[in-house]
């Protein structure tokens, strides 16, 4: 049991990667508080995980009052927080930078950057010393790609946030890292590929697979296992780092 008795807060916790992590964390002995915008998905996730091990809060990760309330709820129910997963995310529009709507740029940046910032801020406020904060960035935080300038920029910015917070939190023994998944076999990525395929005039799923040396998308459970590594004492001397789980795509 890698996370026996640990309390974890997961933003975007009703989505594919968030819920895959929640399943694995609960199986490893943790209790999880899921924060998401999607109440129906939250209810069904908690019904599956068990109400004794999981709680939920409808919260916009980029709304300070709502995200603060989520961390307070976890602390009030279970004591302090041990693991924080800043995972909420959206892809945004696909368009070249010359046509990219400024409002859409702000919307994407708000969720990933302001959202991760507030998650770190209120995570640290409610955490026990010695915990772990993980920001789910992306292979898109390590390389450029056309048509997704807001997403690429926001995912790069999360590394800067992580590096800064890692230096601040180290004196409390709290580790802070980013995880960089490559394309995952889930609705988030397939939705992006459907739209990108129309712009490129080609099958975007195959387009991505050709760029991945391992030749395929990741399963959400493969991403969850890397999150477990960063969440647990297995990574006790790892902080300020970028863990890449992309089948070789960014190499
Ligand atoms: N799917 C991929 O291929 C892939 C690859 C690399 C990185 N990522 C990143 O992984 C994270 C999780 O993505 P996923 O693949 O599970 O997608 P997903 O769409 O299944 O999950 C994202 C969840 O975030 C929630 N969300 C969106 N905006 C929110 C907000 N403002 N506040 C709270 N919750 C919000 C959504 O409701 C959803 O449940 C994202 O940050 C994404 O950028 C995904």
Domain with 210 in it: 183-217
Cβ of 115 less than 6 Å from ligand 1: yes
User: pLDDT (tens digit, 9 = 90+) per residue, 105-145?
Assistant: 999 999 999 999 999 999 999 999 999 999 999 999 999 99
Model confidence at 77, pLDDT cuts 50, 70, 90, reads very high
DSSP lists the bridge partners of residue 201 as none
176 with 195, same domain?
no
Residue 150 has pLDDT above 90, yes or no: yes
118 with 44, same domain?
yes
Residue 44 has pLDDT above 90, yes or no: yes
169 with 201, same domain?
no
Please tell me the residue having the least CA distance from ligand 1 atom 31.
Answer: 60
Please tell me the residue having the least CA distance from ligand 1 atom 40.
Answer: 89
Mean pLDDT of 84-96: 97
Q: At 141, which CATH number?
A: 3.40.50.720
Concerning whether 151 is annotated as a catalytic residue, the answer is: yes
88 with 161, same domain?
yes
How far is ligand 1, taken at its centre, from the CA of residue 235, in Å?
Answer: 24
105 with 194, same domain?
no
User: pLDDT (tens digit, 9 = 90+) per residue, 203-230?
Assistant: 999 999 999 999 999 999 999 999 999 9
Residue of 17, 137, 151, 183 best suited for mutating to test ligand 1, as the one with most atoms within 8 Å of CB: 17
141 with 192, same domain?
no
Atom of ligand 1 nearest to the CA of 60: 32
193 with 205, same domain?
yes
> How many structural domains compose the chain?
2
How far is ligand 1, taken at its centre, from the CA of residue 159, in Å?
Answer: 17
28 with 125, same domain?
yes
177 with 210, same domain?
no
Model confidence at 164, pLDDT cuts 50, 70, 90, reads very high
**Residues whose CB is less than 8 angstroms from the CB of residue 133 and which lie 6 or more positions away in sequence, other chains included:** 83, 84, 86, 120, 123, 124, 127, 165, 169, 174, 175, 176, 177
Residue of 18, 89, 216 best suited for mutating to test ligand 1, as the one with most atoms within 8 Å of CB: 89
152 with 126, same domain?
yes
26 with 135, same domain?
yes
């Amino acid at each position: 049991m890698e996370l026996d008795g640990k309390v974890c807060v997961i933003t975007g916790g009703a989505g594919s990667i968030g819920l895959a992590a929640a399943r694995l964390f609960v199986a490893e002995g943790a209790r999880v508080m899921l924060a998401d915008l999607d109440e129906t998905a939250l209810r069904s996730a908690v019904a599956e995980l068990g109400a004794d091990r999981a709680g939920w809060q409808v919260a916009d990760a980029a709304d300070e009052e709502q995200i603060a309330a989520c961390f307070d709820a976890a602390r009030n129910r279970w004591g302090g927080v041990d693991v924080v997963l800043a995972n909420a995310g959206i892809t945004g529009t696909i368009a070249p930078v010359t046509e990219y709507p400024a409002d859409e740029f702000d919307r994407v940046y708000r969720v990933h950057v302001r959202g991760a910032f507030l998650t770190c801020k209120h995570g640290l406020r409610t955490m026990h010393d010695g915990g772990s904060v993980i920001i789910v960035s992306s292979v898109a935080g390590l390389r450029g790609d056309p048509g997704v300038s807001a997403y690429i920029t926001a995912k790069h910015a999360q590394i800067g946030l992580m590096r800064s917070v890692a230096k601040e939190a180290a004196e409390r023994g709290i580790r802070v890292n980013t995880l960089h998944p490559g394309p995952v076999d889930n609705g988030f990525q397939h939705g992006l590929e459907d739209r990108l395929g129309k712009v490129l005039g080609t099958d975007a799923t195959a387009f991505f697979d050709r760029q991945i040396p391992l030749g395929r998308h990741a399963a959400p459970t493969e991403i969850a296992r890397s999150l477990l590594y960063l969440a647990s004492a297995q990574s006790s001397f790892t902080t300020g780092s970028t863990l890449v789980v992309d089948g070789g795509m960014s190499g």
